Amino acid sequence: MSSIIVIDYGSQYTRLITRRLRELKVYSVISSPETDIAELKEYDPKGFILSGGPQSVYSDSAPDLPKGLLESGLPILAICYGMQLLAKELGGVVSASQHREYGKTELISYGGDLFEGVDGEFVAWMSHGDAVKRPPSGFFTTATTTNTPIAALEDPRRKIYALQFHPEVRHTPKGLHLLENFLNQTDIVRDWTPENIVRTITEDVRALVQEGRVLLAISGGVDSSTLGLLLSRALDKQLFAVFVDHGLLRLGEAREVEEALLALGVNLTVIDARERFLESLKGVSDPEQKRKIIGREFIEIFYQEADRLQKEHGEIEFLAQGTLYPDVIESAGGHGAASIKSHHNVGGLPEDLHFTLIEPFRNLFKDEVRNIATSLGLPDSLRDRHPFPGPGLAIRCIGEVTPERLAILRRVDDIFISCLREFGLYDKTWQALAVLTPVRSVGVMGDDRSYSNLVALRAVSSIDGMTADWSRFPADFLATVSNRIVNSVPEVNRVVYDITSKPPATIEWE
């Protein structure tokens, strides 16, 4: 499948460029500036985008253009730092701006191939201290602002384009149009659709597995559930999906996952390990220790089940994981995802797996997985579920995890999520959760004094979970949730709402 390669210079928006291209039905991957262009042939590149970045092109540690980029003859779009670097390398002049620009800026004038079909006011999102002062030979200026005379450049003969602002962010409302115009200058085929993704993954998995068997751990989240359904369709009884119920899921969640996947024909084994996990967590309050215990118990149970399945059905050669593209990028330290060759180990799996690891979703973002889930017919309740941590409610139950405390937290969580759906807010929220704190407070229940639990509610908006802002819910919604919780859960007499963004806080409390 052909692609557009995004060269990552450390911008906070690099991943967003890739996401925008995929919205335009184009496959895109992120690579490091240290990667030789010749090494990217397997992705059949049809063009390159140079991202922004925090450094000055004159810094001693400033990253350079990838070797072979200019010699490739393919179209190039350079953004922010990428524009400055490209201009400098081609003989232009870059220097510190007298007036730095950060935030929304209106273009005074614009034109050229990249702005074809654009008219009216053009608001752009700027974030730069340096700027191009003199274009390289063969380039002409296509946009200006009050403080930046050269806000865009292009050399139409070589199909090289440059923007000082960020077209990939929503704060540049017409930016997607510019990205689409750049794609029109390439030979890229816009075939990145859920149907084509499913077909490609199916063909690749069948070619790899052939007559072999695949083991898959189902967590109940959208990624593993969707992968289970896709592999079931591709491999039928060659897939062995295992769902370990550790007793730390939301109210009714385990049964919902089991019933949905079995109804869709997935070869699923469910293991009831609730008592085992709760026993292993007895007396433990430290969040990191909880995570390690849960991870250890899960792996032991999973491998025990794998041994049982192999004794009954024969050797299982492959282990499937629902690793996503953001996981791959992060494992590479933010650079070079397109050239990663090392093992990407997530979930605490041991190095000596005894299986060949396959990760069919390693090139996908979560929203793309959800689109695949839709095309495969996964129920909405599973497809649209908010991200949920592997250790489950254990890390939302601050302090010791007990059956009684989990029961309180499940009821609170269920009321919160139900109200979000009732008010039409669930699908507008990236993640929502309830936290049972170890704090108790004085209250009045009826005519009596109470001394009961304090629970915290948290909801955030985000693109990929790397940064997040707290959700601004209407006051009447928050009042409704609070009233229902204290009226329905007698063990709780106080509800607070977390209004901290990430950073400085994390999304989860532990």
Using alpha carbons, select from 376, 322, 334, 11 the residue that is nearest to residue 166: 11
SS3 per-residue string spanning 389-406: CCCHHHHCECCCCCHHHH
DSSP helix/strand/coil, 205: helix
Hey, how many other C-beta atoms are within 10 angstroms of the C-beta on 289? 11
Using alpha carbons, select from 144, 115, 150, 111 the residue that is nearest to residue 130: 150
Q: Which of 80, 154, 180, 491 is catalytic?
A: 80
Q: Which of 101, 128, 154, 166 is catalytic?
A: 166
The DSSP line for 102-127 is EEEEE-SEE-SGGGTT--S--EEEEE
Using alpha carbons, select from 225, 231, 266, 224 the residue that is nearest to residue 379: 225
Q: Which of 101, 154, 168, 317 is catalytic?
A: 168
Q: Which amino acid is at 67?
A: K
Q: How far is CA 261 from CA 231, 254, 306, 309, in A?
A: 12, 11, 19, 19
Known catalytic residue at 166: yes
DSSP helix/strand/coil, 246: coil
- Angle formed at CA 223 by CA 219 and CA 227, multiple of 5 degrees: 95
Known catalytic residue at 80: yes
Q: Assess contact for 409 and 436: CB atoms under 8 A.
A: yes
At 295, list the tokens. 């991870």
Using alpha carbons, select from 120, 140, 129 the residue that is nearest to residue 164: 129
* Torsion sign, CA atoms 231, 232, 238, 240: positive
Positions marked active-site: 80, 166, 168
